[in-house]
Amino acid sequence: MKIIGDRVMFFMNHLSYRNKHINGALASFLLMYEDKKCLHNLTRKEIGELIGYSRENVTKAFKSFIEDNLIEEENGFIKIIDKENLKRIGKFG
């Protein structure tokens, strides 16, 4: 039953990402999956597929988040630095 619930939640989240600008979708995605410790296993292309945007757009948004000191990335690991502003972007972006 838990697997079905997880799948339903995944599809609900996927649909909600499509209703947001790329920055809002990526911020929400990062916040949700940071706690699950699985961000380091995903490529930009895979993240794009999950949130419904191209790899190129995801890469641009990542670069923007890094430049704005919202996140850091080292050896494929993503660390959220400014959770409050990411929450704001996720909500309004």
Query: Residues of 72-83 as b/e, b for ≥16 C-beta within 10 angstroms?
Result: eeeeeebebeee
In sequence order, the β-bridge partners of residue 74 are: 77
Domain ranges (residues) in the chain: 2-92
In this structure, whether the domain defined by 2-92 belongs to CATH 1.10.260.40 is answered with no
pLDDT value at residue 5: 46
pLDDT value at residue 69: 97
Total residues belonging to the chain: 93
pTM, to two decimals: 0.78
pLDDT value at residue 19: 54
The series of mean pLDDT values per 10 residues for the chain, 93 residues long, is: 47 51 93 77 88 94 97 88 95 81
Burial of 23 (0-12, 13-18, 19+ CB in 10 A): buried
pLDDT value at residue 1: 46
